[in-house]
Structure 1
Amino acid sequence: MTGGGMWRKVISTAPQKMSLYVDVHDSMQNERLHIRATHLAPNGIYKLVLRLKHKFGTHMSYAVFKADSVGEIDVPTAKPLRGSYS
């Protein structure tokens, strides 16, 4: 992670205060995204679901991650426990 201006989109949910950071607001299908979840329960298990909607239908994939000891999941470096990814 570099400089504080890297994250363009922040999604927060209350009351858990979980935050999801996505570095690219609108991306191409083959473009890498940096996704990071923070303010999670330390060592908690979470499912990340991604959906791509287009004129031919919807593609979906998911991955299950374990948050680290401070309650964060950094998707590019975290190892998923399971999922539908290939």
Structure 2
Amino acid sequence: MNIIESKRLIEYLDFLLRSGNAGTAPEIADKLGVSERTVRNYFEQLESIKVPLEYNPTLRTWKFSRPGRLVLCFIEDESKTQNTDTPNLPPP
């Protein structure tokens, strides 16, 4: 799986978990087009990085236990955008 496909899956999984209607692991697997084992692996990985997930057995759905969202992106560190190794010289 390439990074673009991974990003798409993360965004869709985030949407499902925030909606409060993601469903069970097999249902999520069907929605994402992956195996149930893959979904369980995703949840294990997310829990290992402290993403707050919970299963509601009454509603039969996975969801975030706190408000938030999953994001896979590049965030530019503006404090480091200037190259301090090269002096600021006027253009030739």
* TM bracket, shorter-chain basis: under 0.3
Q: Give the alignment's TM-score, normalised by structure 2.
A: 0.23
Larger radius of gyration: 2
Q: Give the alignment's TM-score, normalised by structure 1.
A: 0.24
**Relative contact order higher in (CA < 8 Å, ≥ 6 apart):** 2
Structure number with higher helix proportion: 2
Structure number with higher strand proportion: 1
